[in-house]
């Protein structure tokens, strides 16, 4: 059996060589940035195809694990470290406001009276399903919790409002400090800026009733 030993040594050497360099299938010059480079002009790569039940049954999936699901909502799924995420193309990735990184609506906008928020941290603390608020702009209506029927458009408009209702703020930091005030209307740059709990105020223009 001594004649067999050189073959064992050769096999081990080949295995170590392959593990230490890039591997090409269909090419003798695999790309330097790829550990495995598969090249073809008439065939594709077929990854494991699983049902939804089979996918969820995978024990301790590695982050980045990719499969193709064949039933339910079929498509490619990858494990992001905490859960399975479906890969979407550009046309299907955004189907509702809540798919946006800077937008949300209460309960996906399915309730009568749902609020709509667009902008980083707009309506951040408003999670009720029937406040019927609308806020557009960076941190617009950020502090709101139970205030309802409010409309804020502009950078930090109605920023401090928590329980105030039926207010309308249009402009940069309009009604910024309003907390519990009601029925106020402000249109313009920092209009009604310092109003805390006032009611039935109306102002328009640059820093009006600041």
pLDDT tens digits for the chain (210 residues)?
A: 555 455 554 454 444 445 557 888 898 898 999 988 999 999 999 999 999 999 999 999 999 999 999 998 899 999 999 999 888 765 666 777 777 778 888 755 556 778 999 999 999 999 887 899 999 999 999 999 999 999 999 999 999 999 999 999 999 999 999 999 999 999 999 999 998 899 999 999 999 998
Antiparallel, parallel or unpaired: β 103-105 and 75-79: unpaired
Q: Is 149 exposed, middle or buried (0-12, 13-18, 19+ CB in 10 A)?
A: middle
Q: Note the pTM of the prediction, 2 decimals.
A: 0.60
Token output for 203: 């102002």
Report the alpha-carbon distance of residue 178 to residue 162 in Å, rounded: 8
């Amino acid at each position: 059996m001594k004649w067999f030993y050189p073959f064992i040594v050769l096999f081990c050497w080949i295995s170590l060589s392959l593990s230490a360099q890039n591997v090409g299938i269909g090419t003798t010059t695999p790309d330097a940035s790829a550990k495995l480079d598969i090249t073809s002009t008439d065939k594709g790569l077929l990854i494991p195809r699983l049902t939804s039940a089979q996918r969820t049954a995978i024990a301790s999936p590695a982050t980045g694990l990719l499969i193709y699901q064949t039933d339910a909502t079929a498509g490619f799924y990858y494990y992001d470290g905490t859960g399975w995420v479906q890969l979407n193309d550009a046309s299907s990735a955004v189907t509702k406001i809540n798919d946006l990184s800077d937008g949300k609506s209460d309960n996906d906008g399915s309730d009568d009276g749902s609020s709509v928020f667009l902008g980083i941290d707009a309506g951040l603390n408003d999670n009720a399903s029937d406040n019927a608020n609308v806020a557009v702009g960076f941190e617009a209506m950020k502090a709101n919790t139970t205030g309802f029927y409010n409309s804020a458009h502009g950078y930090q408009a109605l920023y401090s409002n928590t329980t105030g209702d039926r207010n309308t703020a249009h402009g940069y930091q309009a009604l910024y400090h309003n907390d519990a005030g009601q029925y106020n209307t402000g249109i313009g740059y920092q209009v009604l800026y310092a109003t805390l709990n006032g009611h039935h105020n109306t102002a328009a223009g640059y820093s009006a009733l600041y």
